[in-house]
Structure 1
Amino acid sequence: MSKETPCIAVCTMDPKTKLCFGCGRTLPEIARWHSMATAERLAIMERLAARMAEAGLVPVPARAERG
């Protein structure tokens, strides 16, 4: 995947937090990701790990890492 996307091809949403288990983005963020300015995408990406930790989510490994 591009350096400007956190997508790891897991694409499963947590029904409680509304965050993707793979990347931590919301559906609205995912939907408009490619129309966002680079600075906005990077700002969101900087917050994803903290966002997932605050929600109590453990990121799912990327498909290639799951073996």
Structure 2
Amino acid sequence: MINSVTETAMPASPCNRICCLNHSDVCLGCGRTLQEIKDWHNADSTQKLQILQNSQQRLAAKPQFDLRHPEVTPSE
């Protein structure tokens, strides 16, 4: 019997290996909350798309920092 269920592509994790949580437990690298990071593995495609949308909104709303050297202030 042929399986008529087609697999839909699961969204890729937005993790970019800059894993550092702020005071609100939001990752500065990908914009996901700690709970969203923990839920990612078991989330279905729809849930992952919602997490991606939420994380992109968070990243767009936060000030951009140089995470490589956050303690260094550029000199003029």
Of 13, 17, 35 in structure 1, the residue corresponding to residue 21 of structure 2 is 13
Q: Which runs of 5+ in 2 are unaligned?
A: 1-9, 68-76
Counterparts of 1:27 and 1:38, CA distance in 2:
19
Q: Greater helix percent: which structure? A: 1
User: Normalised by the size of structure 1, how large is the TM-score?
Assistant: 0.67
Moved >2 Å (runs of 4+): 56-61
- Give the number of equivalent residue pairs: 58
Structure 1 vs Structure 2 CA RMSD: 2.4
Counterparts of 1:43 and 1:60, CA distance in 2:
27
1:59 Cα deviation after fit: 7.0
User: Normalised by the size of structure 2, how large is the TM-score?
Assistant: 0.61
Counterparts of 1:59 and 1:34, CA distance in 2:
28
Query: Considering only CA atoms, is the larger Rg found in Structure 1 or Structure 2?
Result: 2
Highest RCO, 1 vs 2 (Cα 8 Å, sep ≥ 6)? 1
1:50 Cα deviation after fit: 1.5
Alpha-carbon contact 1:21-1:60 (below 8 Å) kept: no
Alignment-mate amino acid for residue 44 of structure 1: I
Q: Which residue of 2 aligns with 1:48?
A: 55
Alpha-carbon contact 2:11-2:45 (below 8 Å) kept: no
Counterparts of 1:28 and 1:18, CA distance in 2:
8
Counterparts of 1:60 and 1:7, CA distance in 2:
17
